[in-house]
Amino acid sequence: MTHVTSTTESLAPVRVRIFGFLAWSAGSQLLLILATWRLWFPDSADLFLGSNTGPVDGSFPKIGLLELAGSVPVGLDLSLAILWVTSLLGQAVSAGYLCCRGREPALGSDRFVRALFWSLIISVLAWLGLVMVNQHRLQAWAYLAMWIQVLYLVDLVSTRTSARLDTRALPRWRWLVLSVYFYSAISKFDLTFLRTLGSQFLTTAWNGMSGANLELETVWPMWMTLLFPVGELIVAVGLASGWARRWFALLAMILHVGLLWLLGPWGMQHQAGVLLWNVFFIGQVGFLFWPVRVPENDADQGESWFAKLALYFVLLIPLGQNWGWCDSWLAWELYAPRGSRIQVFVADPAFEALPELQGYIKRESTAEFGPIWRELQIDQWSLDQVRAPIYPQDRFQLGVALAVVERVAEPEQVFVRWLGPADRWSGQREQLVLRSQAEIEQFGRRYFWNFRATKK
């Protein structure tokens, strides 16, 4: 599987490209952390902004991956975040220096190689610890960066013989990125995407090019919205082949420039983190897929079974999503709205108990449930509070809903509707209304991972 190579001569030394990509990845992560800093430093944010911590002031609930994560001291969470940022700075500096130096280092004697090695290990462990405290931190960009680091480390950890092993990370990284494009494309061959987000993309593009003012809810013909997943699939297949790879690399870059236009301030005005991740992908394509040849005698020789197992594992993880064994973002379902989710409805009398959340409650009442019920937009709450999209998993969103229920003096003034995954061909969803806190908690017991918010 690691024979994803080009017959075109390298335009830059492979080793320089390896270290350059590690520096690019670390630098991009630091910018993304800055764009979503309240997600990683929530208690510090409240301290600096002069407010109390916890959902009482409108802060978004924290839901640990394990229930015992609620007992983790605030100081430990903060220390992990600082350690993560520091290790990324170490990765950026050491990899950047090795990239600029260019000559081959010896793993055991070069202090910059050792600094890079330990900064990668610390970064992976610190991020895993942060996720245990709050699964909202399973952002797709951070998850991808973790695998970039792991797939570089697997040979060094298992053999610790020579920096020559660095070159074998390049084909592994390529397969990782190809899997992102492939699974993301497959997830969009779905009626829900084609009628909702796909049509919104086309409407935004049409309005931007023609000066029209079509409503965002305009539904376009299906053959037109299919251009998005088909284009992504073409990129995945084209980059996987050695033939004309530079043209498919250019196509991938154009795809991300188009997304920047659609999602940026001239289009749908998404958060800075979404835009930065697309900028990262443009550089990623350049580092990994612009014509470069990995020497054949270096690509396979001595590769450890551990490295191969790690690659196969990350490539096969998304297949478990259909059986509920893998979360949507971890299966690379990006911009794919078909996943299960939670809606939270609040009665008018409960508004007084939630003054800090009134900005996220829809003004219109729901005709379906009666005039006193209005929906709390938990996705907008997440965007405003942590500058990051809400984690698109019903387990996590159920925990957010439960945190709201616990805030209200009379819990029956809040209820939850669970929407199951949309059928790929019909768009139909299974629905279930949970009217009490007991019903919500009973429903939450179906999940393997924790769904309860951390109590302050």
Angle between helices 14-35 and 111-133 (to 10 degrees): 30
Shared domain for 246 and 389, answered yes or no, is: no
Shared domain for 165 and 304, answered yes or no, is: yes
Shared domain for 351 and 324, answered yes or no, is: no
Residue 211 falls within a domain, yes or no?
no
Extract the residue ranges of the chain whose pLDDT is less than 50.
Answer: 1-12, 47-56, 105-109, 161-165, 297-299
Shared domain for 358 and 311, answered yes or no, is: no
Cα 12 to Cα 21: distance, rounded to the nearest angstrom: 12
Residue 67 falls within a domain, yes or no?
yes
Can you read off the two tokens belonging to residue 42? 């929530």
Residue 199 falls within a domain, yes or no?
no
Half-sphere exposure of 47 (CA within 13 A, CB side): 7
Measured on CA atoms in the order 376, 382, 385, 387, is the torsion positive or negative? negative
Shared domain for 309 and 365, answered yes or no, is: no
pLDDT of residue 54: 41
Angle at CA of residue 268, ends 204 and 187, nearest 5°? 80
Cα 145 to Cα 150: distance, rounded to the nearest angstrom: 9
Shared domain for 250 and 319, answered yes or no, is: yes
Angle at CA of residue 68, ends 62 and 73, nearest 5°? 65
Shared domain for 284 and 324, answered yes or no, is: yes
Q: Among 331, 352, 381, identify where a domain stops.
A: 331
Q: 179, exposed or middle or buried, with CB in 10 Å at 0-12, 13-18, 19+?
A: buried
Residue written as token pair 């910059």: 112
Classify residue 49 as left (phi > 0), alpha (psi -120 to 50) or beta. Answer: alpha
Residue 271 falls within a domain, yes or no?
yes
Can you read off the two tokens belonging to residue 266? 């001239």
pLDDT of residue 27: 97
User: Taking Cα atoms as reference points, which of 5, 1, 3, 2 lies closest to residue 292?
Assistant: 5
Residue 6 falls within a domain, yes or no?
no
Shared domain for 358 and 392, answered yes or no, is: yes
Residue 206 falls within a domain, yes or no?
no
pLDDT of residue 369: 84
Shared domain for 256 and 298, answered yes or no, is: yes
- 321-362 tens-digit pLDDT: 888 889 999 999 999 888 899 999 998 888 777 888 888 988
Q: Among 312, 331, 350, identify where a domain stops.
A: 331
Shared domain for 250 and 311, answered yes or no, is: yes
Can you read off the two tokens belonging to residue 127? 């991020």
Shared domain for 31 and 86, answered yes or no, is: yes
Shared domain for 29 and 135, answered yes or no, is: yes
Point out which residues pair with 376 in neighbouring strands.
344, 361
Domain count, the chain: 2
Point out which residues pair with 419 in neighbouring strands.
341, 431
pLDDT of residue 301: 54
Domain extent, residue 38, equals: 14-189+226-331
Residue 382 falls within a domain, yes or no?
yes
Residue pair 60/136 in contact (Cβ under 8 Å)? The answer is yes
pTM beyond 0.85: the answer is: yes
pLDDT of residue 269: 87
Q: Among 331, 352, 387, identify where a domain stops.
A: 331
pLDDT of residue 159: 59
Residue pair 390/404 in contact (Cβ under 8 Å)? The answer is no
